[in-house]
């Protein structure tokens, strides 16, 4: 509630600025280089800021093209999170067409963790590749990372070029919409969700075989990719974009200030919350495990040996769990890194507490460590501070709105 209250005050403050400021694009873009210098002076660990311009021949002026911002505090905290990046974008409501892109992750308390922010001239393959190229420099590519996006083929092509080793995951909602659009069968939508959310190979094959029976073409269209997480859609990225929307129709500089201020408030309030929390796990994980543990009474241990247990429920279903190895035959514990109900029952029988089985990235320590680096308010450079400045005339992007029906992308 404190975060929401502070965020509302920030948005109201920026709205007052909008009332006193001209809404034109031409002269307001001149503030973009100055804003980048202010962000540099506000950081103890310097933020990564990239501004790309397009020169006008024989005129000495430049068109605005792209700007990328990633705070040093976000980069410092990312090693303490699960290696998942959610990327999404949205068109800005402006006289000149601009496209907003954000990259976020999720902290130990299941809260949105901002990683990077960009405004590009238009939604193109080149713009997505430019954003992901700079994102990769801040958050390097590796085979343990998963990137979830709702951008479709355009983002997929850019990911293959910039993040070749990472797992690329499509937003589940977008996959379901595509299946419904291309194959016109409403019965496929729940089956697609069942297959996508399956943790074990057997459960996936059961759902996927039902898809094959109903529509072989749909089965060929779908593919399995990436690991399993507690989120399967780009909703957290879209939610973060929504928090920036009050500033998207006004001066572009207010959008940058709003992004910076939101991160500053979130990091400050969450650090205080993590310091005040006394449990082993974060509050979000505690609530999640409490919901899972409600079905513990339905399961009983029928055999114990070498640190593993065979558990069964009232319906006769049998699962094998080894709490010390953090594994279970249902694969939920293996994938989510949070004990499933079978692992909880087994841990009660064998001795170790279920809380001790949670992966480090979901503990209160990780929650605290990812917010140690703080973001500071923007301020003017001090007199003795050396900052490189470039005097340029910055113009709106040289783009135009394409009129007509979009090109068909049917397979």
Give how many domains the chain has, as a whole number: 2
Do strands 167-170 and 299-305 pair parallel, antiparallel, or not at all (unpaired)?
unpaired
Token reading at 168 = 């690329």
* Same domain flag for 116 and 254: yes
Q: Given this model, what pLDDT does residue 383 score?
A: 43
The number of residues making up the chain comes to: 411
Instruction: Please give the Cα distance from 118 to 101 (Å, whole number).
Output: 5
Mean pLDDT, residues 160-177 taken together:
81
* Same domain flag for 313 and 390: no
Within a domain: residue 251? yes
Token reading at 70 = 């990633």
* Same domain flag for 288 and 383: no
Within a domain: residue 346? yes
Q: Given this model, what pLDDT does residue 4 score?
A: 45
Report in angstroms the alpha-carbon separations of 296 from 3, 314, 346, 355: 35, 11, 10, 15
* Same domain flag for 12 and 122: yes
Q: pLDDT, tens digit, for every residue of 260-281?
A: 889 999 999 999 999 999 888 9
Within a domain: residue 24? yes
- Looking at the predicted structure, is the pLDDT value of residue 252 above 50? yes
* Same domain flag for 319 and 390: no
Within a domain: residue 369? no
Q: Which of 36, 93, 8, 105 is nearest to 253 (CA)?
A: 36
Report in angstroms the alpha-carbon separations of 334 from 54, 58, 145, 174, 184: 49, 61, 16, 26, 35
* Same domain flag for 127 and 69: yes
* Same domain flag for 267 and 297: no
Instruction: Please give the Cα distance from 256 to 261 (Å, whole number).
Output: 9
The mean of the pLDDT values for the chain is 75
Q: Given this model, what pLDDT does residue 301 score?
A: 87
Q: E strands within 323-385?
A: 327-328
* Same domain flag for 292 and 389: no
* Same domain flag for 258 and 305: no
DSSP for 92-140, please give it: --SSS--EEEEEEEE-TTS-EEEEEEEEESSS-HHHHHHHHHHHHHHS-
Token reading at 23 = 């809404």
- Domain span at 72: 2-171+233-276+378-395
- Looking at the predicted structure, is the pLDDT value of residue 393 above 80? no
Confidence at 94, pLDDT banded by 50, 70, 90:
low
Is the whole model's pTM more than 0.95, yes or no? no
Report in angstroms the alpha-carbon separations of 60 from 24, 37, 55, 175, 393: 22, 22, 7, 46, 7
* Same domain flag for 289 and 145: no
């Amino acid at each position: 509630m404190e975060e929401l209250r502070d965020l509302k005050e920030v948005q109201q403050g920026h709205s007052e600025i909008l009332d006193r400021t001209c809404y034109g694009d031409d002269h307001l873009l001149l503030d973009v280089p100055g804003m980048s210098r202010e962000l540099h002076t506000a950081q103890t660990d310097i933020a990564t800021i990239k501004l790309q311009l397009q020169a006008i021949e024989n005129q000495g002026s430049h068109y605005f093209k792209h700007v990328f911002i990633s705070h040093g505090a976000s980069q410092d905290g990312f090693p303490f999170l699960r290696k998942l990046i959610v990327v999404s974008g949205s068109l800005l409501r402006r006289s000149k067409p601009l496209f907003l892109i954000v990259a976020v992750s999720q902290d130990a308390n299941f809260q949105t963790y901002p990683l990077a922010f960009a405004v590009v001239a238009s939604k193109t393959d080149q713009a997505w590749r430019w954003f992901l190229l700079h994102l990769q420099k801040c958050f390097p590519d590796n085979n343990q990372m998963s990137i979830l996006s709702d951008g479709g083929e355009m983002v997929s092509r850019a990911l293959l070029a910039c993040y070749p080793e990472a797992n690329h995951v499509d937003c589940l909602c977008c996959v379901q919409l595509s299946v419904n659009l291309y194959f016109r069968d409403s019965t496929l939508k729940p089956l697609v969700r069942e297959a996508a959310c399956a943790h074990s190979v057997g459960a996936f094959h059961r759902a996927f075989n039902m898809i094959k029976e109903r529509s072989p073409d749909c089965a060929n269209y779908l593919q399995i990719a990436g690991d399993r997480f507690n989120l399967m859609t780009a909703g957290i990225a879209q939610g973060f974009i929504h928090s920036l929307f009050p500033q998207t129709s006004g001066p572009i500089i207010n959008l940058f200030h709003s992004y910076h201020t939101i991160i500053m408030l979130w990091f400050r309030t969450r650090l205080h919350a993590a310091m005040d929390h006394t449990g082993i796990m974060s509050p979000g994980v505690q609530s999640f495990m409490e919901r899972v543990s409600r079905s513990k009474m339905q399961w009983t241990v029928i055999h114990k040996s070498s640190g593993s247990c065979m558990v069964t429920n009232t319906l006769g279903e049998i699962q094998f769990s080894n709490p010390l190895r953090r594994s279970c035959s249902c694969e939920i514990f293996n994938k989510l890194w949070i004990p499933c109900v079978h692992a909880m029952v087994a841990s009660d029988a064998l001795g170790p507490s279920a809380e001790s089985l949670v992966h480090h990235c979901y503990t209160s320590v990780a929650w605290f460590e990812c917010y140690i680096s703080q973001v500071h308010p923007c301020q003017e450079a001090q007199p003795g501070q050396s900052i490189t400045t470039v005097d340029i005339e910055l113009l709106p992007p040289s783009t135009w709105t394409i009129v007509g029906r979009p090109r068909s992308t049917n397979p």
